[in-house]
Amino acid sequence: MKNLLTLAIIILVVSCTAQEEKSELKLWYDRPAETWNEALPVGNGRLGAMVFGGVSQDRIQFNEETLWTGAPNDYAHEGAVNYLEEIRQLLVEGKQDKAHELAMKEFMSIPLNQKEYQPFGDLFLYFPEHVEYSDYHRELDISHAICRTSYVVNEVQYSREILASYPDQLLVIRVSADKKGTLNFALKLGAEHKESSLETLDGLQVLSVAVEGGALKGRAGVRVETDGRLVNEGDNISIKGASSATLYLSAATNFVSYQDVSGDPLARMETYLEESRGKSFKEIKEAHVSDFHRLFNRFSLDLGNNGRDSLPTNQRLLKFAEAPDDPSLIALYTQYGRYLMISASREGTQPANLQGIWNKDLKPAWGSKYTVNINTEMNYWPAEVTNLSECAEPLFKLLEECAETGVNVAREHYGADGWVLHHNTDLWRGTAPINHSNHGMWVSGSGWLSHHLWEHYLFTRDLDFLRDRAYPLMREAATFYSQYLVEDPGTGWLISTPSNSPENGGMVAGPTMDHQIIRSLYQACIEAAGILDTDSEFASLLQDQVSRIAPNQIGQYGQLQEWLEDVDDPENKHRHISHLWGIHPGKDINWESSPELMEAARQSLLFRGDEGTGWSLAWKINFWARLLDGDHAYELIKLQFRLVSSENTNYMGGGGSYPNLFDAHPPFQIDGNFGAPAGIVEMLIQSHLSTIDLLPALPSALPDGKISGVCARGGFELSFSWKDGKLQEVEVLSKAGETCYLRYGDHFREFKTEKGKFYKLDGEINLQ
Ligand code: FUC
629 assigned to some structural domain: no
Question: Do residues 91 and 507 lie in contact, with contact meaning Cβ atoms separated by under 8 Å?
Answer: yes
Atom of ligand 1 at shortest range from CA of 671: 10
Closest ligand 1 atom to Cα of 354: 6
Ligand 1: distance of its center to the CA of 619 in Å?
A: 13
For residue 576, which atom of ligand 1 is closest to its CA? 8
* Mutation to probe ligand 1, out of 422, 669, 670 (largest number of atoms < 8 A from CB): 669
| Residue 691 counted as domain residue | no
For residue 523, give the CATH number of its domain.
1.50.10.10
Task: Tell me how many domains the chain contains.
Answer: 2
Cβ–ligand 1 contact at 371 (below 6 Å): yes
Nearest CA to ligand 1 atom 11: 371
Compute the distance from residue 295 Cα to the ligand 1 centre, in Å: 30
For ligand 1, whether the C-beta of 503 sits within 6 Å is yes
- Taking CA atoms only, the protein residue closest to ligand 1 atom 4 is 366
What are the DSSP calls for 75-119, one per residue? Answer: ---TTGGGGHHHHHHHHHTT-HHHHHHHHHHHTS-SSSS---B--
Q: Is the CB of 377 within 6 Å of ligand 1?
A: no
How remote is the CA of residue 460 from the centroid of ligand 1, in Å? 31
Q: Is the beta carbon of 366 within 6 A of some atom in ligand 1?
A: yes
- Is residue 415 one of the residues assigned to a domain? yes
Ligand 1 test: best mutation among 355, 371, 379, 652, most atoms within 8 Å of CB? 371
**φ/ψ of residue 325, rounded to 5:** -125, 60
Please tell me whether residues 92 and 177 are part of one structural domain. no
- The amino acid sitting at 251 is A
Residue 81 in domain: yes
Cα-to-chain-centroid distance, residue 335: 13
Q: How far does the centroid of ligand 1 lie from the alpha carbon of residue 734, in Å? A: 39
- In this structure, the answer to whether residues 293 and 434 fall within a common structural domain is no
Q: In whole angstroms, how far apart are CA 377 and each of 395, 538, 622, 629? A: 9, 27, 13, 23
CB 353 near ligand 1, within 6 Å: no
Same domain, 503 and 526: yes
Q: What is the pLDDT of residue 649?
A: 83
User: Do 458 and 470 form a contact (C-beta atoms < 8 A)?
Assistant: no
Over the chain (768 residues), what is each successive 10-residue block's mean pLDDT? 47 41 83 98 98 98 98 97 98 98 98 98 98 98 98 98 98 98 98 98 96 98 98 97 98 98 97 95 98 98 96 97 97 98 98 98 98 98 98 98 98 98 98 98 98 98 98 98 97 98 98 98 98 98 98 98 98 97 98 98 98 97 98 98 90 91 97 98 98 98 98 98 98 98 98 98 98
Does residue 355's CB lie within 6 angstroms of at least one atom of ligand 1?
no
Residue 495 resides in a domain: yes
pLDDT at 23: 65
Q: How far away, in angstroms, is 438 Cα from ligand 1 center?
A: 14
Same domain, residue pair 87 and 164: no
Let me know if residue 511 belongs to a domain.
Answer: yes
Q: Could you tell me if 467 and 400 lie in one domain?
A: yes
Residue 353 in contact with residue 375, Cβ under 8 Å?
Answer: no
- Same domain flag for 92 and 222: no
Ligand 1 atom at shortest distance from the alpha carbon of 651 = 9
- CA nearest ligand 1 atom 1, residue: 371
Query: Domain boundary at 269, 297, 325, which?
Result: 297
- Give the residue, out of 374, 424, 651, 652, with the most ligand 1 atoms within 8 A of its beta carbon, to mutate for a pocket test: 374
268 and 207 in a common domain: yes
H/E element, 149: strand 146-153
Q: How far is the CA of 566 from the centre of ligand 1 (A)?
A: 25
The Å distance, Cα 501 to ligand 1 centre, comes to 13
For ligand 1, say whether the CB of 577 is within 6 Å of any of its atoms.
no
Same domain, 81 and 144: no
Structural domain ending residue among the three candidates 257, 272, 297: 297
What distance in angstroms lies between residue 440's CA and the mean position of ligand 1's atoms? 12
Same domain, 58 and 89: no
- Domain span at residue 281? 31-68+117-297
What's the rounded Cα separation, in Å, for the pair 495 and 541?
16
- Answer yes or no: do 278 and 150 share one domain: yes
* CA of residue 340 to ligand 1 center, whole Å: 20
Angle at which helix 313-322 crosses helix 327-344, to 10 degrees, equals 140
The pLDDT of residue 648: 86
Atom of ligand 1 nearest to the CA of 365: 6
656 within domain boundaries: no
Give 518 Cα–ligand 1 centroid separation in angstroms: 22
Q: Are 717 and 738 in contact (CB under 8 A)?
A: no
Q: State whether the beta carbon of 354 lies less than 6 angstroms from ligand 1.
A: yes
479 and 514 inside one domain: yes
Residue 660 has what DSSP assignment?
A: T
Question: Ligand 1 centre and the CA of 380: distance in Å?
Answer: 16
Q: 727 CA to middle of ligand 1, Å?
A: 39
What is the predicted pLDDT for the residue at 16? 40
Closest residue to atom 10 of ligand 1, CA basis:
375
Task: Give yes or no for a cis peptide into 324 (omega within 30° of 0).
Answer: no
Distance 215 CA to ligand 1 centre (A): 27
Whether residue 10 is contained in a domain is answered as: no
DSSP calls for 451-489: HHHHHHHHHH--HHHIIIIIHHHHHHHHHHHHHH-EE-T
- Which of 359, 366, 435, 501 to mutate to test ligand 1, by most ligand atoms within 8 A of the CB atom? 366
CATH number where 147 lies: 2.70.98.50
Please choose from 354, 375, 652 the residue to mutate so as to test ligand 1's pocket, defined by most ligand atoms within 8 A of CB. 375
Domain boundary among 551, 581, 604: 551
* CA distance between the termini of the chain: 40
114 lines ligand 1 (CB under 6 A): no
- Does one domain contain both 394 and 500? yes
State the Cα–Cα distance between residues 159 and 181, nearest whole angstrom: 14
